Amino acid sequence: MIARRDSVLGASYRLQYRRPVHFVRGEGIWLYDPDGRRYLDFYNNVPSLGHCNPEINAAMAEQANRISANTRYLEPRLVDYAERLVATFPEELNRVVFTCTGSESNDLALRIARLTSGSEGVIVSSHAYHGTSAATAMVSPNLGDAVKLSPAVRMVSLHGPAGVPDRQAATFFEEQVRSAIADLNRRGIGIAALLIDSIFSSDGVWVDPPGFIAGGIKAVREAGGLVIADEVQPGFGRTGTHMWGFERHEVVPDLVTLGKPMGNGFPIGAVVGRKAPMDHFGATARYSNTFGGNTVGIAAADAVLTILHRDRIPEHAHAMSERLRVGLEHLATLHPGIRGIRNAGLFFGIDIGLDGTGAVGRRAMALEIVNLMRDDGVLISTTGANEDTLKVRPPLICQAEHVDRFLEAMECALKKVVAQV
C-alpha cells in the first residue's frame, strides 16, 4: 500500500509514525486496524466527541436524506445554529460567516482585517500554523523555509522558547508586538491584524500565564489593526474551563476563526466577529462559498453543540485534564526525561530531554517515545520548533481508564528511551 501511495499521490503527503498504521474503523476514543487491534487515540482533536459519534452521524444522515443545500436559500436550521453558536461568545461577537475549514476561516478573517484596517501587515508567533491556502501559508512559519512568508508578515517570539520567565511574559510579548508594528509602519505596510492561536500549539503549547497576550492586543488596536483569535485548536471546550481559548486570557478579539472539531470530522468552519468589520466587508466585498454552511454540515455542527452543552463536555475535559496532569507530574518525579508539562484542558505539551542533551538529542528522544507508544497501541505526536515536545490532545470524551492507559504507555516508553541514551 505504501508503494502504491508513492506511485500515485503527490510528494507532499506524509505518513504518521515510523511504522505507518492502517485503520478500518473508529469508535469513541479507539481506532481499529485490519487485524482488530485497537489503538488509543490521544492525538486527534478533530473528532473531539469521539470517532463515528452515532448521534452526530444520525443528524447528518437525516439531513442528507432530506436535502443538502447552500446558504442562498432560506433554511431555519442555519439561522437556529448561528444564533446558538454566537450565544456561546461574548456579546460583542455577534455575526458569523460559515466556511468549510479552518484554513478558509483564517483566509477570510485576513481579508476582513485587511479591508477594514486598510493595511496589509500581519503579526504571528514565530512557529505558527494557520492553514494551507496561499494566503494562510504565507502567515505560517511552521511550514518551513521552502514556504515563503509574505513580506507583510512579522514574527514575534514567545517567552517560553526564548527562555524568559513567566513573570516577564506579558512585557516580553507586548514589546515585540510594538516593535513589529513600528517596523510595519516604517515600511509603509501598516498593521492589519495580530493572528494568534491562544494556546500557541505549534510553538510548543505555551498557554500560561493567562492574560500575557493582553498588552500586545492593546498595541495592535491602538495602531488600527484587528485581533484574530484562531480557535481551530483550542475552541469548542478543549481548554476545559472555557468554551473558547481566548477567554482564558480575558480578552475579546475582533474576529474568531473556527474549524476542525466544529463538525466532529465533517468539514465545516466559521468566522465569528464583531458587527462593524463584518458589515464593512459585506458591503464592499463579495464572499460566496459553495459548501460553506451547507445543511449537512450545519446538522453535524448543531449536534456537536448540543452534546457539548447537554453532557457538560468542557467540565468533563477539565476533570480528565487534572487527572492526566497529576499523573504526568508523578511520572516526572519517578523518571528523568520530562523537562516540562504545560496544558490548557485536554491539550498538553510535554517537553522531553535529559540534562545536557542537545536539541538533536531531545528531538530524537521525543520522536522515539512517539513511535514506541504507537507500537504499544497509543497514538500521540510532537510539536514545537524542535519537535521535542510531545503533543497530547485526546477526544474530550476520554475517561479515567483511558488516561491511566496513556500514562502506563508513556511510562514504559520513557523508561526505554532513557535507558538507550
Q: Which domain holds residue 154?
A: 54-310
Closest to 85 in 3D by CA, of 296, 308, 246: 308
pLDDT at 214: 97
Domain boundary among 294, 310, 326: 310
Cα separation, 231 vs 248, in Å, equals 12
Give the CATH number of the domain where residue 145 resides. Answer: 3.40.640.10
pLDDT, tens only, 394-405:
999 999 999 999
| C-alpha to C-alpha distances, 305 to 28, 42, 59, 85, 93, nearest whole angstrom | 17, 22, 12, 8, 17
pLDDT, tens only, 242-288:
999 999 999 999 999 999 999 999 999 999 999 999 999 999 998 98
| C-alpha to C-alpha distances, 313 to 28, 60, 82, 307, 417, nearest whole angstrom | 14, 21, 20, 7, 35
Closest to 398 in 3D by CA, of 378, 415, 420: 378
Judgement on whether residues 29 and 122 belong to the same structural domain of the protein = no
**Number of domains, the chain:** 2
Give the cell for residue 382. Answer: 510532537
DSSP character string of 303-319: HHHHHHHHTTHHHHHHH
pLDDT at 348: 98
pLDDT at 12: 87
Please answer whether residues 107 and 135 qualify as being in contact, where contact means their C-beta atoms are separated by less than 8 angstroms.
yes
Judgement on whether residues 157 and 250 belong to the same structural domain of the protein = yes
Judgement on whether residues 401 and 415 belong to the same structural domain of the protein = yes
Identify the three-state secondary structure at position 15: coil
Cα separation, 126 vs 141, in Å, equals 6
Judgement on whether residues 167 and 280 belong to the same structural domain of the protein = yes
Domain boundary among 269, 292, 310: 310
Judgement on whether residues 209 and 83 belong to the same structural domain of the protein = yes
Judgement on whether residues 59 and 72 belong to the same structural domain of the protein = yes
Judgement on whether residues 240 and 94 belong to the same structural domain of the protein = yes
DSSP letter, residue 75: -
Give the cell for residue 186. Answer: 516604517
Average pLDDT over residues 333-337: 93
Judgement on whether residues 305 and 259 belong to the same structural domain of the protein = yes
Model confidence, pTM: 0.95
Judgement on whether residues 264 and 144 belong to the same structural domain of the protein = yes
Closest to 341 in 3D by CA, of 331, 353, 330, 328: 328
Judgement on whether residues 270 and 403 belong to the same structural domain of the protein = no
Judgement on whether residues 79 and 183 belong to the same structural domain of the protein = yes
Give the CATH number of the domain where residue 350 resides. Answer: 3.90.1150.10
Alpha helices in 311-380 (DSSP H): 313-334, 359-375
Judgement on whether residues 137 and 236 belong to the same structural domain of the protein = yes
Closest to 110 in 3D by CA, of 100, 120, 99: 120
The contacts of residue 242 (CB under 8 Å, 6+ apart) are: 248, 314
pLDDT at 288: 86
Please answer whether residues 332 and 379 qualify as being in contact, where contact means their C-beta atoms are separated by less than 8 angstroms.
no
- CA 311 centroid distance within chain: 22
Average pLDDT over residues 7-29: 93
Domain boundary among 257, 282, 310: 310
pLDDT, tens only, 348-383:
999 999 988 899 999 999 999 999 999 999 999 999
Cα separation, 66 vs 266, in Å, equals 18
Residue 262 CB-density burial (10 A; 0-12 exposed, 13-18 middle, 19+ buried)? buried
